[in-house]
Structure 1
C-alpha cells in the first residue's frame, strides 16, 4: 500500500508539471522517453504469460480462469489502439500518449494491490486498464514523426517498432524470476515503475505544433463496430480450446465477428472522416505490409508460446528440460537481447538495400531458427543458439515494419496506419499462440495425456514455414509507395529500393 501511495503521488506530481507547460522544454530526451513508453506497454502484454499457473494458485481460480489475465489485456488493447491512433492524428499524439501511460500506471497499481488481496476480479480489471494503454504505440510513432529530426527519424522508428517484440520477449523473461523471488504482485509493480518513469520523461517531450493537423471528429459508429469485431474475434481465438471450437459460443463469436466486420466496412466507406481509412488496411500502399505483419505475428508468437512449454516439460517424458518458470525466463533472455541489438542493424540494412530486404532477411533467419528448434533441441546449448538467432531474426522483421508503414503514408495518417498495423500484430499473435497449442496437444496419445515430442517438432516446423510465407508476401514489387511527408523516413530507411 505504501508503494501504491508513493507511485500515485509521483504520478500526480508529473501530471501537474505536464499541465504547467512541459511542452516548452527541449526535445532532447524525446526518443528515449518514447522508447520507454512503448517498452512499458509491450512488456505489460506478456508479463503474466510464463507465470499463469502461479496466478491461478494465488487467485484461487482454474487454469482457464488465469488465462483471462492475458486475454483481458489483449482485448482492451485491440479496442484502444485504433481509437487512440485516430484521436492522436486529430487532437495531438502527446496528449493521448500521456493518457495511455496514466492508464498503464492505474491498471498496474490496481492489479498489484488486487493480487496481494487475492482478488481475481480486481486483477482482471487492472489488466483491462493496462490494455487500454495500447494506444501508446501509434501515438509514439506519430509524436516521433512530428518531433524527431529527419536525420534521426529512421533509427527512432526502427527502435520503436522493435520495442513491440523486445518488450514482449522480456515480459516472459522477467515474469518467472520476479514471481519466484518476490511474489506474483511484483511484475505489476515493475510496470507501474516504468509508467511513472515514462510519465516523468514526458515532461521534457514537447507538444509539436498542430497547425497542420487534420480537423474532424471521431467516427463513433466505426469505433463501436471495430471494437465489437476485435472483441468477438480475439475472444473466440483465445477461448476456442477452453470452450471447444465447435461449441455454440465460439461459433456465435466467429459469426458475430464476420457480421460486425462487414458492417464496419460499409460504415467506413460512407462516413466523411472514417476511423480507419480502408485504403490503409487493404489499399495497394500497405496491403502487402499488413498481410506480412499478420503472418509474421503468427510465427513469432507461436514460437514464444512453444518454448516455455517445451523447456518446462519433465525430463521423465524423454524430452524437455524440466525447467522452472525462473529458469525458463533466463533461457529466453537471448531472444530479447538479440531483438534489441537488431534495431540498429535494421537501419543499416534498410539504408543499403531497403526496408523490405531487412524484413525478408529477418523472416528467412526466423525460418532457419525455428527449423533448428524443431529438429535439433536435445541439448540446452542448441536451444540457446536457436533462441539467439530467433531474437535477431524477429528483431530485424519487427524493426523494419515501422519504417515500411510510416514510409508509405503521409504524416497526418501516421497514428491510424501504425494503429492498424499494431492490431494486426496482436491478432497474429493470438492466432499463433492458438495454432501452436493445437498442434502440440493433438500429438497426445489420449485426452489428458502429455503431448509427444513429435508435436513440438511439427509445431516448430509449421512456424518456420509461416515465417517463409511472410518473406514471400513482401517479395512483390511495390509493397511500399512513398507518400508526401514521408521522404525523410524513406531516405533514412531506403524505402524506395
Structure 2
C-alpha cells in the first residue's frame, strides 16, 4: 500500500510541477493584453518559474538527503500551492510573477521524488517507475501546452492555474500520508555554494532568455559574470567537506556523458516543441501537439526494456529524423502531426532513460544530489532550445531553425557512443 501511495504521490506531483512550467507559453500574448505589459516583459512569467526551479532543485535535493525526502517534498508542495493561488487570483503582473516564482520552487520535487521511489519500490519495478517519473518532465510540459488554449478560450487566463492548484493539493495530501523516511546523509547545507550556484544559474537563464532584447554587449557581460560565478562555485565545492554538488562525482564517465546528452537532447526537442505552435493556427495548436504527446506516453514504458544507452541513442536518432523531416515538410497540419509521432517517441525514450542512467550510477545517499543536477541540466537545455527557437524565428527561417536542432540532435547521438552498455551498479550504502 505504501509503495502504491508513494508512486501515485510522486507522479501527481511531478506532472503538476512540469505542466505548470509550460502552461503559460500559449498565454503570453494574453498576459500582454490583460496586464498592459510589453511583449518582452511577458515572457518573465515563464522565466520566473524556470529560475526558481533551477535554483531550488539542487538545494532541495541536498536537503532531502540531509533531512528526509518526504519532509522537504511537503515544503516544496506548500510553495507550489501558495504560488498557484497567487497566480489564479492575481490582478497585476508583479503579483503573477511572485506567484510563478513561488510555484517554481516545485522544481525541487524531481530529485526528492527519485529519492522517495528508490526507497519504496522493489528493485524489480524500480527501473520502470523511474522511467515513468523521468518522462513526466516532458509529458507534463506537453500537457501544459495542450491544455492552455482550451482553458483560456473557455474560462479565461485565471483558469490556467486552478486545475494545477487542485493537483497540487492532491499531491500534498498523498505525500502527507507517506511514512517518514530517515535521512540518507549527514553534515550540513553548503550555504555559500547554494548562493553561488543560484546566482550563476540565474545569470545563465537570464542571459539566454533576454539576449535578444538586451543586445550583444549586455548579454556577453552577463555570460562573463556567470562564468565567474560558476568558477567560484567550483572552487568552493572542491574545498568544502559537505558540498552542495559533488563535482568529483559528476566527473564520472556515465554522469558526465548523461548530463551532456541531456543538454543536447533537451535543447533540440524543446526547441522544436516551441516552434510547432507557430506553424499552425491558434485553434489547431492542441491538434498539432497531440500525436507527439500520445507517442511519448507509449514510448516511456518501453525505455527500461531497451536499456538506458539504447533508449537514448534511439531517442536522439528519432529527433534527428524529425528535425530533418520538418525542414522539408512543415506547411500542412497533417505533416506536423505525422512527424510529431516520431518526435514524441524519441522524447519519451530519451528522457525516461536519463533518470535511470543517473540513479544507477550513484549510491543511495547521493540520489537526491545526482538527480537534482540532471533536472537542472534539463531546465538549462530546454531554456537554450526555447531561446534558440526565438532567435531563429526572428530571422524568419523555419528551415534554418529545424536544421540547427537536427545538428544538435546529431551531437547528442555522437555523445551516446561514450555511454557504457550497462550502467555501473553502485553500492547500496
* TM range, smaller chain: over 0.9
Matches within 5 A, 1:6-155: 26-114=2-90, 117=91, 119-155=92-128
Aligned to 1:192: 165
- Report the counterpart of residue 13 of structure 1 in structure 2: none
Matched residue, 1:221: 192
Q: Distance in 2 between matches of 1:330 and 1:58?
A: 26
* Cα deviation, residue 127, structure 1: 0.3
Distance 1:279 1:186 in 2: 45
Q: Does 1:357 align with 2:328?
A: no
Match of 2:140 among 167, 187, 204: 167
Deviation at 1:262, TM superposition (A): 0.6
After superposing the two structures, state which structure 1 stretch, 335-344 or 399-408, moved more: 335-344
Q: Hey, what does 2:202 align to over in structure 1?
A: 231
Give the drift of 1:208.
2.9
* Aligned with residue 462 of structure 1, among 392, 404, 413: 404
What's 2:303 paired with? 346
Distance 1:283 1:60, change over 3 A: same
Work out the number of aligned pairs and report it.
428
| Partner Cα distance (2:193, 2:54) in 1 | 14
Larger-Rg structure:
1
Partner Cα separation in structure 2 for residue 103 and residue 68 of structure 1? 19
Q: Which residue of 279, 283, 286 maps to 1:329?
A: 286
* Contact 2:131–2:303, Cα closer than 8 Å, also in 1: yes
Q: CA RMSD in A?
A: 1.5
Of the candidates 238, 257, 266, which is equivalent to residue 288 of structure 1?
Answer: 257
Given candidates 474, 480, 483, the residue that maps to 2:416 is 474
Stretches of 4+ moved more than 6 A in 1?
none
Task: Map Cα deviations across residues 382-427 of structure 1 (whole Å, 9 max, x no partner).
Answer: 1101112111110000000010100000010000000100101111
Deviation at 1:281, TM superposition (A): 2.9
Counterpart of 2:234 in structure 1 is: 265
Pairwise CA distance, 1:441:
1.6
- Aligned residue for 2:3, secondary structure, equals coil
Deviation at 1:477, TM superposition (A): 4.8
* 1:308 alignment partner in structure 2: 277
| CA positional deviation for 1:87 | 0.7
Cα offset, 1:204, TM superposition: 3.3
Aligned in 2, Cα 1:438/1:26: closer, same or farther, shift over 3 Å?
closer
Please tell me whether the aligned partners of residues 27 and 205 of structure 1 are also in contact (alpha carbons under 8 angstroms). Answer: no
1:417 pairs, out of 356, 362, 370, with 370
Task: Give the whole-Å Cα distance in 1 for the aligned partners of 2:297 and 2:194.
Answer: 34
- Which runs of 5 or more structure 2 residues have no equivalent in the other structure? none
- Alpha-carbon deviations, 1:272-302, whole Å to 9, x = none? 0000000233333411111001111110111
- Mapped to 1, the partners of 2:419 and 2:111 lie a distance apart of 26
Task: State the distance in 1 between where 2:7 and 2:392 align.
Answer: 41
1:332 is paired with a residue of what secondary structure? Answer: helix
Q: What CA distance in whole angstroms lies between the structure 2 residues aligned with 1:59 and 1:198? A: 31
* Mapping 1:332-411, distance limit 5 Å: 332-350=289-307, 355-411=308-364
Deviations 1:285-329 (A, max 9, x none): 411111001111110111111111222xxxxxxxxxxx11x4212
Number of the residue aligned with 1:201 = 174
Is contact 2:80-2:168 (8 Å) kept?
yes
Q: 1:259 to 1:172 in 2, by over 3 A?
A: same
Structure 1 residue runs without a partner (length 5+): 1-24, 312-322, 443-450, 487-497
TM-score (norm 1): 0.84
Shift of 1:207: 2.3
- Partners of 2:279 and 2:331 within 8 A in 1: no
Helix, strand or coil at the partner of 1:482: coil
8 Å contact from structure 2 (residues 2, 120) kept in 1 = no
Q: Please identify which structure carries the higher helix content.
A: 2
2-side partners of 1:471 and 1:144: how far apart? Answer: 29
Q: 2:32, 2:68 → 1: CA distance?
A: 40
